[in-house]
Structure 1
């Protein structure tokens, strides 16, 4: 597996070909999920080969946005199947990568440890200091792609989402849970 070459390829493709309306779901997000996945895999004691599969899934997990927003996880798997053989990935590795990618489909329902890790990495920002910066980027994307109208509507959506969301891994629960709760409380205060 030539993960560095695959990483360079898909990030370049996202930067060049993704429609400009994707202010959040872009190459920066792919890299963010890759970094969070790497940290979580290390903390969760994941072996080298499985970590490579996880990191590849992180890079490709939203590449389906290149073909549109609807059912983008399946489209991301199509991209993995199309491009990853060029980087020395076996069919078995690619199917495992697709299984990891599909865990990110909302509502998240991972059925193994790698799926839990990518789900936590995908929403790592919920419990980080840059939450409000990234939340604003997602809001500006949803105004264009989903017809979201006002920041107040967005706050209401975020409250429901944050109340229902839970991290899966012990690492994310401890590392991101407390700050996520503070962010929720701050949004609730400003919507009253």
Structure 2
């Protein structure tokens, strides 16, 4: 497994080719999920081997946005299946990576510990201080795509999402739940 080469390939491709209209699903988001996955993975005491698989999945998890927005997770798996054999990833490793990529699809339904970690990493920002900045970027992206039109509609969607969301790993629960609930309360105040 040539992890560094596989990582460099996809990050360079995303940096050059992702649409500038993707204000949230950008190279910054991919790097953010990578950092969160690295942190959570280490705090969850996974092996170095599993960490490499996890971080590969983090790098490739939104690569499908190069091709489409709806169903981008399947497209991301397609890119991983096509590219990762060039970096000596086995079929079994690629299958695990695709499982992790698919675990980021909403609603999240991770089936194992690595999938739980990447699911938590993908939504790590929900319980962080930069939540409102990133939330604004997601609103602008969805507005551009025509998915949402008004800020009130967005805030109502956020309330539903935050109320239904839960972290899976002990690490994410301990690090992010309290702040996530504070954000939920602030958005509810806006809607009053």
Same fold (TM over 0.5): yes
C-alpha distance in structure 1 between counterparts of 2:28 and 2:188, whole Å: 28
How far off its partner does 1:147 sit? 3.3
DSSP-derived class of the 1:155 partner: helix
CA distance, structure 2, for counterparts of residue 27 and residue 86 of structure 1: 22
1:47 counterpart residue number: 47
Any stretches of 5+ residues in structure 2 without a counterpart? none
Instruction: Name the counterpart of 1:122.
Output: 122
**Within 5 Å, which residues of 2 pair with 1:1-192?**
1-192=1-192
Backbone CA RMSD of aligned residues: 0.8
Q: TM-score if structure 2 supplies the norm length? A: 0.98
TM-score by length of 1: 0.98
For 1:159-178, what per-residue CA distance to the aligned partner results, in whole angstroms no more than 9, with x for missing partners? 00000000000000010000
CA-CA distance at 1:93 after TM superposition: 0.8
- Give the deviation of 1:73 after TM superposition: 0.6
After superposition, give the CA deviation of every residue in 1:22-52 in whole Å (9 maximum; x if it has no partner). 1111111111111000000111110011111
Give, in whole Å, the separation in 2 of the partners of 1:94 and 1:179. Answer: 34
Q: Aligned-pair distance for 1:146?
A: 3.5
- Unmatched 5+ residue regions in structure 1? none
